[in-house]
């Protein structure tokens, strides 16, 4: 499964977190929702997974308030209707899909949402009164925002994993996106259905030591102090899963190539514990503080370095533009002054980035970091050096 993530991550910019959440959802046979604006590769990720995982049967629909049940279930079976049976022809539709993507999932009407609940929870559809088992592994929902209307809580709660997806932020990553737009043509089959089943079963065998349960209790208490409540049902499914299935923690650990959960793996609970996107910073702070303080320090240093870089790049662009305009009007003195200001802005940012880079390099020298944290460190150092190099080029160095 890690190869699937790496294959798709190579084709997409800034989607590692979402891809890993999707991989965990598939291994745990759970559901995940992506929150974010349109045009952020949400459907691409799901279609890419379906292709990489042996061509899993895939279903995709876009809901709106007037969507009929047929949008999920397929057309009425007229022959059965003439015999007095109310059945749907479900071939190629949600009841027969292994991987499904439902866009604008919270805009469906009550009839649609009431159909989704048993499909997501029980993997069964009552077609004409006859229970029809559904092969659904994971349903991926997408929405621009969390559900606000009363009565949508049940559907929202069925998405055990929740991930916020935004437009590409990093300048270098955005340039790579423009140079090589993602395409499914190059996505190969990485795992067969049988290999996927074997990985799902292996994930369910991952050990959960007692110390992990102790840390989860601490984590729950820390979140409660911030007014963030997670239901008992979500905690149990995230830690222990359902009979015969891996939990989120087990799947996350398996994806990292290990057979026993460590405290570092508690970072997967970030996807589980927030109810509203405004809670994400607090949840991340608590989870990383309890589970992986090194990772938290890496993220803080990387964020500070990027903030310094992006702020300086934008301000230098503005000042240099004003300097060009001053030269065009014959005001050479003002142009020189503006260019000098731009250079000072860049120099100040280089000092900040140098300080953050030194912090990252110190963290990299420490022993005991997990594979995931080590990869994050290497990536952060590479990015910080890239931001540093780009600003230095502006200085002519």
Instruction: Report residue 126: phi and psi, to 5°.
Output: -90, 95
Q: Mark residue 55 as left, alpha or beta (left: phi above 0; alpha: psi -120 to 50; beta: remaining).
A: left
Within a 10 A sphere around the Cβ of 116, how many other Cβ atoms?
A: 22
Q: How far apart are the first and last CA of the chain?
A: 43
Mean pLDDT of 189-211: 93
Residue 280 confidence class, pLDDT cut points 50, 70, 90: very high
State the average pLDDT for the chain: 88
Residue 295 confidence class, pLDDT cut points 50, 70, 90: confident
* Cα distance between residue 276 and residue 334, in whole Å: 49
Provide CB contacts within 8 A for 215, sequence distance 6+.
263, 266, 290, 291
Residue in 167, 389, 163, 144 with CA at minimum distance from that of residue 274? 163
Residue 80 confidence class, pLDDT cut points 50, 70, 90: low
* Cα distance between residue 152 and residue 156, in whole Å: 6
* Cα distance between residue 389 and residue 373, in whole Å: 24
Residue entry with tokens 């990485």: 190
Among 139-143, 179-183, 332-336, the range scoring the smallest mean pLDDT is: 179-183
Residue 82 confidence class, pLDDT cut points 50, 70, 90: low
Residue 397 has pLDDT above 60, yes or no: no
Residue 25 has pLDDT above 80, yes or no: yes
Q: Percent of the chain at pLDDT above 90?
A: 46
Helix axes 293-328, 371-394, angle to 10 degrees: 20
Residue-wise DSSP of 293-345: HHHHHHHHHHHHHHHHHHHHHHHHHHHHHHHHHHHHTT-HHHHHHHHHHHHHH
Can you name the residues that pair with 139 across neighbouring β-strands? Answer: 100
Residue 76 confidence class, pLDDT cut points 50, 70, 90: confident
Mean pLDDT of 270-282: 94
On the CB side of 149, CA atoms within 13 Å amount to 11
Domains of the chain in start order, with CATH, are: 2-186 (3.40.50.300), 205-291 (no CATH), 293-394 (1.10.132)
Tens digit of pLDDT for each residue in 51-67? 899 878 999 999 999 99
8 Å CB contact between 256 and 25: no
Residue 136 has pLDDT above 90, yes or no: yes
Mean pLDDT of 70-84: 74
Residue 370 has pLDDT above 70, yes or no: no
pLDDT at position 230 is 93
Residue 393 has pLDDT above 80, yes or no: yes
Residue in 63, 62, 49, 60 with CA at minimum distance from that of residue 6? 49
Residue 48 has pLDDT above 80, yes or no: yes
Tens digit of pLDDT for each residue in 225-266? 999 999 999 999 999 988 889 999 999 999 989 999 988 899
Higher-pLDDT residue of 283, 83: 283
Task: Please give the distance of CA 378 from its chain centroid, rounded to a whole number.
Answer: 20
Tens digit of pLDDT for each residue in 311-357? 999 999 999 999 999 998 888 899 899 989 989 999 999 999 999 99
Mean pLDDT of 174-194: 86
8 Å CB contact between 267 and 295: yes
pTM here is 0.80
pLDDT at position 348 is 92
* Cα distance between residue 350 and residue 347, in whole Å: 5
SS3 content of the chain, % helix, strand, coil (to 5): 60, 10, 30
pLDDT at position 146 is 87
pLDDT at position 250 is 97
Residue 13 has pLDDT above 70, yes or no: yes
Q: How wide is the angle at C-alpha 235 spanned by C-alphas 244 and 208, nearest 5°?
A: 55
CA distances from 397 to 44, 175, 261, 315, 337 (A): 40, 22, 47, 19, 20
Structure tokens at 242: 């359902």
Structure tokens at 363: 């963290």
């Amino acid at each position: 499964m890690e190869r699937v993530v790496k294959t798709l991550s190579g084709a997409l910019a800034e989607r590692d977190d979402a891809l890993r959440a999707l991989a965990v959802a598939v291994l745990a046979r759970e559901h995940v929702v992506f929150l974010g604006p349109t045009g952020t590769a949400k459907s691409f990720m799901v279609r890419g997974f379906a292709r990489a995982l042996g061509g899993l049967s895939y279903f995709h629909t876009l809901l709106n308030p007037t969507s009929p049940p047929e949008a999920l279930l397929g057309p009425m079976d007229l022959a059965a209707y003439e015999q007095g049976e109310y059945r749907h022809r479900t071939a190629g539709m949600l009841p027969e899909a292994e991987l499904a993507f439902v866009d604008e999932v919270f805009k469906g009407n009550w009839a649609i949402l009431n159909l989704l609940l048993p499909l997501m929870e029980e993997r069964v559809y009552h077609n004409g009164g006859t229970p029809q088992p559904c092969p659904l592994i994971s349903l991926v929902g997408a929405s621009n925002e969390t559900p606000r209307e009363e009565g949508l809580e049940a559907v929202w709660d069925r998405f055990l994993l929740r991930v916020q997806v935004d437009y590409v932020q990093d300048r270098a990553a955005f340039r790579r996106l423009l140079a090589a737009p993602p395409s499914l043509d190059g996505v190969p089959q990485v795992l067969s259905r049988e290999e996927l089943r074997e990985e799902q079963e292996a994930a369910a065998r991952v050990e959960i030591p007692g110390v992990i349960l102790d840390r989860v209790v601490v984590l729950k208490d820390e979140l409660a102090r911030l007014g963030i409540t997670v239901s008992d049902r979500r905690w149990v499914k995230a830690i222990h899963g359902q009979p015969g299935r891996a939990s989120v923690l087990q799947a996350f650990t398996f994806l990292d190539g290990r057979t026993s959960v460590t405290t570092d793996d508690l970072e997967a609970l970030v996807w589980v514990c927030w109810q509203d996107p405004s809670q994400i910073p607090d949840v991340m702070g608590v989870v990383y503080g309890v589970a992986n303080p090194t990772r938290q320090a890496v993220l803080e240093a990387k964020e500070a370095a990027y903030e310094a870089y992006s702020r300086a790049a934008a301000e230098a662009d503005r000042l240099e533009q004003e300097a060009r305009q001053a030269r065009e009007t014959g005001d050479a003195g003002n142009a020189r002054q503006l260019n000098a200001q731009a250079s000072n802005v860049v120099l100040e940012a280089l000092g900040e980035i140098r300080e953050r880079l030194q912090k990252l390099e110190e963290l990299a020298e420490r022993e005991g970091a997990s594979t995931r944290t080590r990869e994050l460190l290497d990536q952060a150092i590479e990015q910080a050096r890239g931001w540093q190099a780009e600003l230095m080029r502006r200085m002519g160095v």
